[in-house]
Amino acid sequence: MRAEIVSIGTELLLGTITDTNASFLAQRLAAIGIDCYYVSQVGDNLGRLVDTLERASGRSDLVVATGGLGPTQDDLTREAIASLLGETMTVVPALERDLRDFFERRGVQMPERNLKQATLIPSAEILPNPVGTAPGWWVSSEHEGQSSVIVAMPGVPYEMKRMWEREVEPRLRSQGSGVIVSRTLKTMGLGESAVEAKVQDLMGGSNPTLAPYAKQDGVHLRVTAKAATPEEAERLISGLEAEVRSRLGAAIYGADDETPVGVLRRLLSEAGYRYAVLEVGPAVAGSIAPLAGDPEGGESAGPGVIAMSVDSFASFRKVFGEAAALSEDLDLEGAIRTIHSITGSHVIIGLSAKLTPLEANGQLVTADVEIALLTPDAAEGIHLTRSRHTWKTQATEIRRLAGMAAYNLTRLRLLKTRN
């Protein structure tokens, strides 16, 4: 079954609201094995809405529309479906009673314009909406030789979700479309083209499929399989996943909901390491501090974890006093060695950055970033790893890029130490 989502409302085209309905529906369609090939947005205009629905029902077996079921003049979804099929909307007495009762229970007289929410066409069946005034429609249509189903639901997210979960999805599941299952493998340290080059010959398959995506936390590879059962889909995924992992190796840092911070915390915890993070300079403040604890007040990294952010090495000297003052030319290496000597932390990650503006407004910069990492070493006692990076980019991007580089350097070093 091929599906298309149609989101209706001029407010979507103006950008005043975000279309979360389409995202929800796309995920739920995939979960029941229905391929969603198109997502359309159209404003509150009868002609354009009819054109959009006509195009959708001509190329898709299932059209899922949200929005335009309200009582106002610009709510035109019912009218558009009726026009498309050449049918007449009529008031259904039972629906009218339910609608008037809805308002009466709230001590409000129903505006007569709401009466159009009690209408139906011959090809439509009602989808109940006990939490709102807009029932949905399930419409079986035959248009220009193409059989399709049009499902119209309210645009209010909680009304739409309830209707989908209780009225629409069970009906679609009963048709036995199967399931679509995906797994996302997440990489770090390689660009999108470098990742693709390693797996390009695996990307031509039809089931399972493999597709790369550049994200804020690295390059993701989504493996997707369609099958009659979740177990069968998982078997299809596992074979391709194993081959992808063998080619990318340690570049893969996690899967699905795993994050760089969460993965690195786990590695540190499994090794029993106390750790500290140091950020020097406002450009990198907050880059790696989340490793030491959730800034939103959630999960804590645990006892013995230290996070420090200072604006300069002079500030660092003031904090650590004589221990830091021993070196007048204190740099990042000297700073993390000082932290090690005072705190005894097993792992210390340090970041510093120098920015050179490339524009008068200072938004575009050249950033020279240094990372210093101190880790335990069986032979040396402690091991120092240093890394330097130069980026020309927006100043607001430096924090993210520096943090990702530091996380990856630390992760790879811990994996090497463990192995």
Alpha helices in 200-278 (DSSP H): 230-248, 260-271
- Residues 244 and 301 both lie in one domain: no
Burial of 93 (0-12, 13-18, 19+ CB in 10 A): exposed
If asked whether residues 375 and 267 sit together in one domain, one would say yes
pLDDT of 154: 95
197 plus 287 within the same structural domain: no
- Do 151 and 138 form a contact (C-beta atoms < 8 A)? yes
Q: Three-class SS of residue 403?
A: helix
CB 77 within 8 A of CB 67: yes
231 and 127 in a single domain? The answer is no
Residue type, 72: T
| Residue 382 near residue 375, CB atoms below 8 Å | yes
Residue 387 backbone phi and psi in degrees, to 5: -145, 140
Alpha-carbon distance of 388 to 10, in angstroms, equals 49
Q: For residue 109, give the DSSP letter.
A: P
Q: What is the pLDDT of residue 419?
A: 67
Is residue 272 domain-shared with residue 350, that is, in the same domain? Answer: yes
pLDDT number for residue 300 = 44
> Cα-atom radius of gyration of the chain, to the nearest Å?
29
What CATH number should be reported for the domain holding residue 313? 3.90.950.20
Tell me how many degrees the CA angle 107-112-113 measures, rounded to the nearest 5: 115
- Whole-angstrom distance, CA of residue 288 vs CA of residue 176: 47
pLDDT, position 173: 84
Separation between Cα atoms, residue 357 and residue 361, nearest integer Å = 8
Is residue 75 domain-shared with residue 151, that is, in the same domain? yes
The pairing of beta strand 2-8 with beta strand 35-42: parallel
**pLDDT value at residue 199:** 94
pLDDT score recorded for residue 298: 39
How many domains does the structure of the chain reveal? Answer: 3
Do 301 and 385 sit in the same domain of this protein?
A: yes
Same domain for 286 and 147, yes or no, is no
Last residue in a domain, options 107, 140, 173: 173
Q: What are phi and psi of 259, to 5 degrees?
A: -120, 160
pLDDT score recorded for residue 50: 96
Beta pairing, strands 146-153 & 62-66:
parallel
CA distances to 191, 204, 269, 273, 341 from 303, in Å: 35, 48, 11, 10, 18
Domain boundary among 221, 236, 255: 255
- Give the dihedral sign, CA 361/217/292/313: negative
For residues 232 and 105, membership in a common domain is answered with no
How confident is the prediction along the chain (419 residues), in pLDDT tens digits per residue? 899 999 999 999 999 999 999 999 999 998 888 889 999 999 999 999 999 999 999 999 999 999 999 999 999 999 999 999 999 999 999 999 988 888 888 888 888 888 999 999 999 999 999 888 889 999 987 766 667 899 999 999 999 999 999 999 999 887 766 788 889 999 999 989 999 999 999 998 888 999 999 999 999 999 999 888 889 999 999 999 999 999 999 999 999 999 999 999 999 999 999 899 999 998 898 888 888 764 433 344 455 578 888 888 888 888 887 777 766 668 899 899 988 988 889 999 999 999 888 877 768 889 999 999 999 988 778 899 999 999 999 888 999 999 999 999 999 999 988 76
* 220 and 156 belong to one structural domain: no
**Domain boundaries, position 324:** 260-418
pLDDT value at residue 164 = 96
CATH number at residue 16: 3.40.980.10
From the centroid of its chain, how far is CA 120?
38
Domain boundary (145, 173, 201) is at 173
Q: How many CA atoms lie within 13 A of 308 on its CB side?
A: 25
At 63 the pLDDT is 97
Residues 226 and 126 in one domain: no
User: Which percentage of the chain shows pLDDT scores above 70?
Assistant: 94
Report pLDDT for 317.
Answer: 84
Residues 6+ apart with CB under 8 A from 132: 154, 156, 159
Residues 153 and 301 in one domain: no
**CATH assignment of the domain containing 187:** 3.30.70.2860
